[in-house]
A and B are shown apart, each in its own frame.
Chain A
Amino acid sequence: MNGTIVELTFRQLLSQRRNIALVLAALGPVLIAVTYRLGADTDFDLSQAGQPYSHHQRFVAEALLSDIVLATLLPLVALIVGTAVLGSEIEDGTAVYLLSKPIPRWKVVLSKLVVAWAVTAGFIAIVTLAAGYIPLVGQPTEVTLRGVTYSFGNGYALPVGFAVAGIAGALVYTALFICLSIVTSRAFVTGLIYVFIWEGVVTRLFSGTRVLSVRQYTFSLAEWLSNAAPEVFNARLGVTTAILMTVVVTGMAFWFAVRRLERFEIGEAT
């Protein structure tokens, strides 16, 4: 890793107007959580395993953290940040100043990846924890169902599990999108197609394609880390596969990005 590149990339990201859009996007899930908290009644049920769960937990996991934060916000933020850290330099021609230095290309990609990951992961972790806790804090932890009184957890493990899964997902997404930004000048559009067509439609229709969906890896990790009951949240990919694919996809995206950057031609983007 190269400290100068890391510093330069952070400054580059901070100087961009799109940060305002990111902050506004972050407010979305938090506002939804506040609105839900103000309007929803407490409601409980028993899981198939005979464990009680609150519908608050289900809302937090199913709707708020998975559908809105992990499935929508995470890939969008990763796409914006991942394609900006190197892609914008390639696009405007400033990448030449970076690449005409005696620095191995893997160090360039690693430095960019670290910044993109840190920014995306930090952003997602804060939003996940904030939006996840708001509906759960202060909710009853004891409930009587069919004459039996149950004590159960407050569900705080949910936001933490989803936040950690989001951090892992941020690594895969940013590695993929950095790679994409080196490969094509239309990285943003290609990324959007991947997120909304491939992950949003194709992997829902054809179960075999889930193994190629970062969203599914993140969901699987979230389920595993938060130890959620199936009624609260149910991922559709095994955790072993998810961990393996997280490592494999990140590694391959990194390797391919380095390889492409080693063969970077100025005429490709200028």
Chain B
Amino acid sequence: MTTETTTAAPPVSAARSTATITFEHVSKWYGNVVAVNDISFELGPGITGLLGPNGAGKSTILHMLSGFLQPSAGEIRVLGQPAWRNPEMYRQVGLVPEREAVYPFLTGWQFVLQSAKLHGLPDPEAAARRAIRLVDLEGAQDRPTGGYSKGMKQRVKIAAALVHQPRVLLLDEPFNGADPRQRLHLMEMLRRMAAEGHTIVFSSHILEEVERLAENVLVIVAGRLAASGDFHEIRRLMTDRPHTFTVRSSDDRRLAMALVSDASVYGVELEDSHLTVKTSDFAAFTVALARIARDANVSLYEVLPTDESLESVFSYLVNR
């Protein structure tokens, strides 16, 4: 496992002998705007999550990876082939774009079938049946996709991307619009594929999604690779940082006195209508708070983390 936070171009992480995706000093800029700044990494089979706030550059990286954006500098290879201007690559690569649009006049079955035919598969019907079964869409396959819900559109897009059983699957925000049951089903399916040796890369701005699915994570902030490696280590870095909470209770003064004696708390400010509590141990504080309040006979009305936006978490990682 390698975990690193970077402010400059990071080196390619420990090379894996089974690397299927290689990014070497890749940058992408539009005029004076730098979207991706000198990023390098290698990925092998398994699930990798591209994590970062909106506008961080995740989609730009996925688009470059899928051959739909030309890098301004650097080199991208997928399964040893260049990604840019190489349609042959799609024999081994499946792409699930973020945009919801599908051909509204096609049924789910026709949409997946035409994908199989465009791949030139020898038995497109069998491939389409298998892909639709994989995403659990058999019940709605004969309805026009124009009438699908967001989650169903997502699933039919995934079926179309899987129809040729690609070795590399790229998904841009794949869980958008999926309900919890569909989300679990898709996650289970992706885990199975990863176990079979597929390389799966997905982007998300939701920490919990990445936590539940990805073994490996690339944290992208402002076009830079802020951290890469095992998710749990990065998660620890994200949580073991100073946190500030706003707490409203039935007796702020008494609660403040009780809190300052706890080891997880290193600062309490008593303000007009609430307390501002600073802690260095997120997990210990969230467990201790309820106990301390109960022991002090104080009722908690509101507990709000004040700096929990992904942007602030990621900024912390970058500046660390």
Which parts of A95-117 form the interface with B (CB within 8 Å)?
96-105
1/0 contact string of B102-130 vs chain A (CB within 8 Å): 11111000000011011110000000000
Q: Could you tell me the distance between the alpha carbons of A99 and B95 in the complex, rounded to whole angstroms? A: 10
CB proximity of A114 to chain B, nearest CB, Å = 16
Which chain B residue shows the least CB distance to A91? B101
1/0 contact string of A6-40 vs chain B (CB within 8 Å): 01100110010000000000000000000000000
Chain B residues within an 8 Å CB radius of A270: 99
CB proximity of B291 to chain A, nearest CB, Å = 51
Is A94 in the interface zone, CB < 8 Å from B? yes
CB proximity of B259 to chain A, nearest CB, Å = 49
Is A245 in the interface zone, CB < 8 Å from B? no
Instruction: Sort chain B's interface into a size bin.
Output: 20 to 34
**A96 and B118 contact, Cβ closer than 8 Å, known pairs A105-B87, A263-B85:** no
Could you tell me if B101 and A102 are in contact, using CB atoms closer than 8 angstroms? no
Chain A residues within an 8 Å CB radius of B104: 15
Which chain A residue shows the least CB distance to B97? A96
Show the binding face of B for A, using Cβ within 8 Å: 30, 60, 63, 66-70, 85, 87-91, 93-95, 97, 99, 101-106, 114-115, 117-120, 160-161
**A102 and B114 contact, Cβ closer than 8 Å, known pairs A264-B68, A270-B99:** no
1/0 contact string of A250-269 vs chain B (CB within 8 Å): 00000000000011111100
Which chain B residue shows the least CB distance to A8? B114
1/0 contact string of A69-90 vs chain B (CB within 8 Å): 0000000000000000000000
Q: Could you tell me the distance between the alpha carbons of A102 and B91 in the complex, rounded to whole angstroms? A: 6
Which of A93, A102, A105, A267 lies in contact with B120, CB distance below 8 A? A102
Instruction: Sort chain A's interface into a size bin.
Output: 20 to 34
Q: List 5 A-B contacts (CB under 8 A).
A: A5-B118, A11-B105, A92-B101, A93-B101, A267-B30
Which of B70, B90, B103, B115 lies in contact with A263, CB distance below 8 A? B70
Which chain B residue shows the least CB distance to A7? B114
Q: Could you tell me the distance between the alpha carbons of A92 and B91 in the complex, rounded to whole angstroms? A: 24
CB proximity of B150 to chain A, nearest CB, Å = 14
Could you tell me if B103 and A101 are in contact, using CB atoms closer than 8 angstroms? no
**A103 and B87 contact, Cβ closer than 8 Å, known pairs A92-B101, A94-B103, A266-B63:** yes
Is A4 in the interface zone, CB < 8 Å from B? yes
9 nearest interchain CB pairs? A93-B99, A266-B68, A15-B105, A101-B118, A93-B101, A4-B117, A100-B95, A92-B101, A102-B91
Chain A residues within an 8 Å CB radius of B95: 96, 100
CB proximity of A83 to chain B, nearest CB, Å = 17
Could you tell me if A266 and B69 are in contact, using CB atoms closer than 8 angstroms? yes
**A4 and B69 contact, Cβ closer than 8 Å, known pairs A102-B120, A262-B85:** no
Could you tell me if A265 and B68 are in contact, using CB atoms closer than 8 angstroms? yes
Which chain B residue shows the least CB distance to A262? B85
Q: Could you tell me the distance between the alpha carbons of A270 and B101 in the complex, rounded to whole angstroms? A: 11
Q: Could you tell me the distance between the alpha carbons of A98 and B114 in the complex, rounded to whole angstroms? A: 10
Which chain B residue shows the least CB distance to A96? B97
**A265 and B69 contact, Cβ closer than 8 Å, known pairs A2-B118, A11-B106, A102-B88:** yes
Which parts of A212-270 form the interface with B (CB within 8 Å)?
262-267, 270
CB proximity of B54 to chain A, nearest CB, Å = 15
Chain A residues within an 8 Å CB radius of B85: 262-263
Chain B residues within an 8 Å CB radius of A5: 118
Which of B30, B68, B87 lies in contact with A96, CB distance below 8 A? B68
Which chain A residue shows the least CB distance to B105? A15
Could you tell me if B114 and A4 are in contact, using CB atoms closer than 8 angstroms? yes
Which of B30, B63, B119 lies in contact with A101, CB distance below 8 A? B119
Q: Could you tell me the distance between the alpha carbons of A263 and B93 in the complex, rounded to whole angstroms? A: 18
Q: Could you tell me the distance between the alpha carbons of A104 and B91 in the complex, rounded to whole angstroms? A: 12
Chain B residues within an 8 Å CB radius of A98: 118
CB proximity of B239 to chain A, nearest CB, Å = 34
Q: Could you tell me the distance between the alpha carbons of A119 and B63 in the complex, rounded to whole angstroms? A: 34
Could you tell me if A12 and B118 are in contact, using CB atoms closer than 8 angstroms? no
Which of B68, B94, B118 lies in contact with A4, CB distance below 8 A? B118
Could you tell me if A93 and B68 are in contact, using CB atoms closer than 8 angstroms? no
CB proximity of A120 to chain B, nearest CB, Å = 21
Given contacts A96-B68, A101-B115, A265-B70, 20 further A-B contacts (CB under 8 A): A4-B117, A5-B118, A7-B114, A8-B103, A11-B106, A93-B101, A97-B160, A99-B68, A100-B67, A100-B90, A100-B93, A100-B95, A100-B161, A101-B119, A263-B70, A264-B68, A265-B68, A266-B63, A266-B69, A267-B30
Could you tell me if A102 and B87 are in contact, using CB atoms closer than 8 angstroms? yes
Could you tell me if B68 and A94 are in contact, using CB atoms closer than 8 angstroms? no
CB proximity of A101 to chain B, nearest CB, Å = 4
CB proximity of B110 to chain A, nearest CB, Å = 9
Q: Could you tell me the distance between the alpha carbons of A223 and B60 in the complex, rounded to whole angstroms? A: 53
Q: Could you tell me the distance between the alpha carbons of A270 and B62 in the complex, rounded to whole angstroms? A: 14
CB proximity of B228 to chain A, nearest CB, Å = 24
Which parts of A42-62 form the interface with B (CB within 8 Å)?
none
Which chain A residue shows the least CB distance to B102? A94
Could you tell me if B115 and A97 are in contact, using CB atoms closer than 8 angstroms? yes
Could you tell me if A93 and B97 are in contact, using CB atoms closer than 8 angstroms? yes
Q: Could you tell me the distance between the alpha carbons of A93 and B63 in the complex, rounded to whole angstroms? A: 13
Which chain A residue shows the least CB distance to B93? A100
Q: Could you tell me the distance between the alpha carbons of A180 and B95 in the complex, rounded to whole angstroms? A: 27
Q: Could you tell me the distance between the alpha carbons of A15 and B103 in the complex, rounded to whole angstroms? A: 10
Among B68, B85, B93, B95, find the residue whose CB has the most chain A CB atoms closer than 10 A: B68
